Structure 1
Amino acid sequence: MAATSGSNALNPSSAPPKILLAKPGLNRVGGPGGSEDESVTLRSRLPPPASLNLLSDSWEFHTDRILQFLTENTDFTVIGVIGPSGVGKSTILNELFGFDATSPGMLPPFATQTEETRAMARHCTVGMELRVSAERLVLLDTQPIFSPSVLAEMMRPDGSSTISILHGESLSADLAHELMGIQLGVFMASVCHVILVISEGVHDMNMWHLMLTVDLLKHGIPDPSSLTSSYSQGSNLGHEKETKDTPQEADEEYLAAPIFVHTKLRELDLFPINTLQLRRALSQYFSLSSFMGKKYVNNIKAQMQSSGSSDNKTDDLGSAELELFLIPSKRQDDLQRVQCESYVSMLGKLRDLVLSINCRHFAKAVSEREWLRNSARIWDMVKNSPVIAEYSRTLQSSGMFRR
């Protein structure tokens, strides 16, 4: 993944492509000429002019402000992160970006949780944010999954949702909140090369369950290179034709390569016997999922053989394991007689793993700009997915959510 020269930019005579680093200060919504109550009620406003949100808090996709930072380069990698609040998503993305936290006066590309936000039970990321590194890594950060603060912000006094999650359907806030995580997961699995699934500790399996649900509901959603010009947003006919024109078969739909990351672990959790049990549990949990599909195994095996790899694992890929990465608690570094590697060291190793992983490729070559435009179409397909809509109705009829 080499850095792209200025000649790959939209205008060859211009400066080298811009790099999204720090997030500018956001303008307060409301202000003169419009009340804050109106903006909360309508939830249809555009993101503030300085926003770098790809997906806004109104659950709408916005490309105009991001397009200027992307080029016609086709040698890029999309890495997404998904997980609950406070598990270290933004910290991991900052590490992937190559941000040096010791540099004075430099803001991190992705805002991390502070003591103030933690005390107020608030979240940092709204919707989805995008940054691009000098290595042409397109990094996507999502709002937290299973977040009470997200639910509180989207709930009206009568319990209904202020955000339109499924086009044309009015939902209760708790059901809409449940579907938000699923939609984010389906979208990330469709447009990323690698998706980091972050959990806290060794006993939280909620993200595992979410990804199984994503695998179950991701049908008819192609990768960004497979869209045809015949697709039109909001058209069911276009959606059906797009599915037929997609080169993947029904059992070979594209899925980003997942890396399951568990953070804030104790030294005991990192003992070899415990890590082995967790790896076995992960493999068993996803043994029948598409994440362990035959196409993926064969693809990795072919890549390893073509690169001349002598790794003995090449012959054992029929029982390949999913990538699992464990990061100790930052406080572990302050303890005496710690036997595991440090928090900082493991963050660096995670970056090395992500940059070297044999990830899945899109069906065809696509430029950064084409990827962004087609990702907007894919988001529209996710919101119009009949499979997700049917799942929503099933959840509603279960009686677990408000009506």
Structure 2
Amino acid sequence: MAGSGGGTSTPNTAPKILLSKPGLVSAGKFNRGGGGGGAEEDAAALRSRLPSLGSLNLLSDSWDFQIDRFLPFLTDNTEFTVVGVIGPPGVGKSTILNEIYGFNSWSPGMLPPFGVVSEETRATARHSTVGIEPRVSAERIILLDTQPVFSPSVLAEMIRPDGSSTMSVISGESLSAELAHEMMSIQLGILLASICHIIIVVSEGVHDASMWRLMLTVDLLKHGIPDPSSTTLSHPHSSTMSSDKEVSNKPLESGDEYMASPIFVHTRIRDQDNTPRNFQALKKALVQCFSTSLFVRSEGQDAAKDVQSSASNMKLFLVPSKGRDGSSRPLYESYASALWKVRDQVLSMTGSSFSRTVSEREWLKNSGKVWELIKNSPTIADYCTTLQTSGLYRK
């Protein structure tokens, strides 16, 4: 999609460009390869000037937001869409984003923009995504892949021998690794709900409600966190905690209360569970769960309309398990067609709108400010303190 050049394996073939940048790489919608030698030379020149893909993570090892590395891929364009994904390990988050990006896995020599979990990674119980990994499609869709939540491998990497966390996820707080791990998941959810137009919430199977509970916590704690276009972010940036807390406590202006439009996806559905009856039952439970949340109010419905009617418009998709040989033999829908439906929904829907028009570059810079507000939010800190004193986590 966002790339040019032949798909052969000859040594002189230029590498594929997985991040498009208008004016340097030309790519039409859903263009999945092809092109002449001149395009290959442009791709090679661009690759030499831009950071390596591995350095583009938006979150550093110290859990700070990094702007400079991703900024060269963004423009002053204001017609863009931000799509984020969140979910536990191995549920297909990166696969869904690759589908939305337009990646063609059958194209020889084409690497996916988002790395998927390999059999080796799965066997060693590791995760393939760290922090937040961004990509930009030719249609100017900014895709944000996040590290897995509820992940034992993430917890193992951040725990010290004494049980404390190697990362300070709440500014000024020293937490146990288990509690810090819990708060990381909540912070990631709040960030995506704040800076994305669309957030894809991925769960495994039809019986796991952990992601629903996480998003309800996000809805509870997102108080006072604006979107990246908010005028409340125009204050002179200060790294001091007191300044950030003052901004966190500052009342939001009209229109600043924001929540990304959600799409709920349940993957790895067994054939016996992938029935219209189960879908309707799950949809009913979803509506009941989120009927009073800001996720429903973000749909743009008139406040006077029935809330239940608004909740019934929530997007839900079931993706069946994929066979080991790459095939699936479902009773109702194939793995590939279910992914296509998710992709088509994202590409066709109008997500929540920011309060003001901003460019891609402004979005990124202000997203960094939003992240600081999240790390210094009194509401989130109070919730963390409540968990810390509950006895559920070690001191």
Normalised to the residue count of structure 1, the TM-score between the two structures is 0.81
5+ unaligned residues in a row in structure 1: which ranges?
1-10, 22-46, 302-313
Q: What aligned pairs does 1:135-284 form with structure 2 within 5 A after superposition? A: 135-227=139-231, 228-235=233-240, 236-237=242-243, 239-241=245-247, 244=250, 246-248=252-254, 253-284=257-288
> Structure 2 CA distance, aligned partners of 1:318 and 1:134?
32
> Structure 2 CA distance, aligned partners of 1:177 and 1:319?
31
Aligned residue in 2 for 1:28: none
Assess if the C-alpha contact under 8 Å between 1:224 and 1:375 holds in 2.
yes
> Structure 1 CA distance, aligned partners of 2:166 and 2:125?
20
Aligned residue in 2 for 1:327: 319
Assess if the C-alpha contact under 8 Å between 1:160 and 1:173 holds in 2.
yes
Alpha-carbon offset, residue 179 of structure 1: 0.2
SS in structure 1 opposite 2:180? helix
Assess if the C-alpha contact under 8 Å between 1:212 and 1:289 holds in 2.
yes
> Structure 2 CA distance, aligned partners of 1:167 and 1:138?
28
> Structure 2 CA distance, aligned partners of 1:91 and 1:318?
29
SS in structure 1 opposite 2:165? coil
Aligned residue in 2 for 1:362: 354
Aligned residue in 1 for 2:382: 390
Assess if the C-alpha contact under 8 Å between 1:224 and 1:374 holds in 2.
yes
Aligned residues: 350
SS in structure 2 opposite 1:55? coil
> Structure 1 CA distance, aligned partners of 2:220 and 2:251?
22
Assess if the C-alpha contact under 8 Å between 2:198 and 2:261 holds in 1.
yes
Aligned-partner residue type, residue 297 of structure 1: Q
Aligned residue in 2 for 1:39: none
> Structure 1 CA distance, aligned partners of 2:379 and 2:201?
23
Assess if the C-alpha contact under 8 Å between 1:84 and 1:145 holds in 2.
yes
> Structure 2 CA distance, aligned partners of 1:95 and 1:334?
17
> Structure 1 CA distance, aligned partners of 2:189 and 2:356?
22
> Structure 1 CA distance, aligned partners of 2:279 and 2:234?
47
2:105 paired with 1:96 = no
Equivalent of 1:342, from 329, 334, 355?
A: 334
Distance verdict in 2 for CA 1:76–1:221, change over 3 Å: same
2:124 paired with 1:125 = no
Normalised to the residue count of structure 2, the TM-score between the two structures is 0.82
Alpha-carbon offset, residue 340 of structure 1: 1.4
Aligned-partner residue type, residue 230 of structure 1: H
> Structure 2 CA distance, aligned partners of 1:180 and 1:201?
23
Distance verdict in 2 for CA 1:174–1:319, change over 3 Å: closer
Assess if the C-alpha contact under 8 Å between 2:299 and 2:352 holds in 1.
no
2:65 paired with 1:61 = yes
Aligned-partner residue type, residue 238 of structure 2: Q
2:395 paired with 1:399 = no
SS in structure 1 opposite 2:302? helix
Aligned residue in 2 for 1:308: none
What RMSD, in angstroms, separates the aligned Cα atoms of the two structures?
Answer: 2.7
Assess if the C-alpha contact under 8 Å between 2:328 and 2:335 holds in 1.
no
Aligned residue in 1 for 2:77: 73
Alpha-carbon offset, residue 127 of structure 1: 0.6
Alpha-carbon offset, residue 344 of structure 1: 0.8
- Sequence identity (%): 57
SS in structure 2 opposite 1:177? helix
5+ unaligned residues in a row in structure 2: which ranges?
1-20, 33-50
Assess if the C-alpha contact under 8 Å between 1:198 and 1:262 holds in 2.
yes
Alpha-carbon offset, residue 55 of structure 1: 1.1
> Structure 1 CA distance, aligned partners of 2:298 and 2:335?
35
Alpha-carbon offset, residue 267 of structure 1: 2.1
| Structure 1 stretch displaced more, 47-56 or 380-389 | 47-56
> Structure 1 CA distance, aligned partners of 2:300 and 2:377?
24
Q: Give a deviation string over 1:371-398, Cα, whole Å, max 9, x none.
A: 0000011111110011110001000110
Alpha-carbon offset, residue 106 of structure 1: 1.2
> Structure 2 CA distance, aligned partners of 1:321 and 1:229?
34
Alpha-carbon offset, residue 60 of structure 1: 1.3
2:267 paired with 1:288 = no
Assess if the C-alpha contact under 8 Å between 1:225 and 1:374 holds in 2.
yes
Q: Give a deviation string over 1:244-293, Cα, whole Å, max 9, x none.
A: 474336xx710000101000112222211111000000000112211122
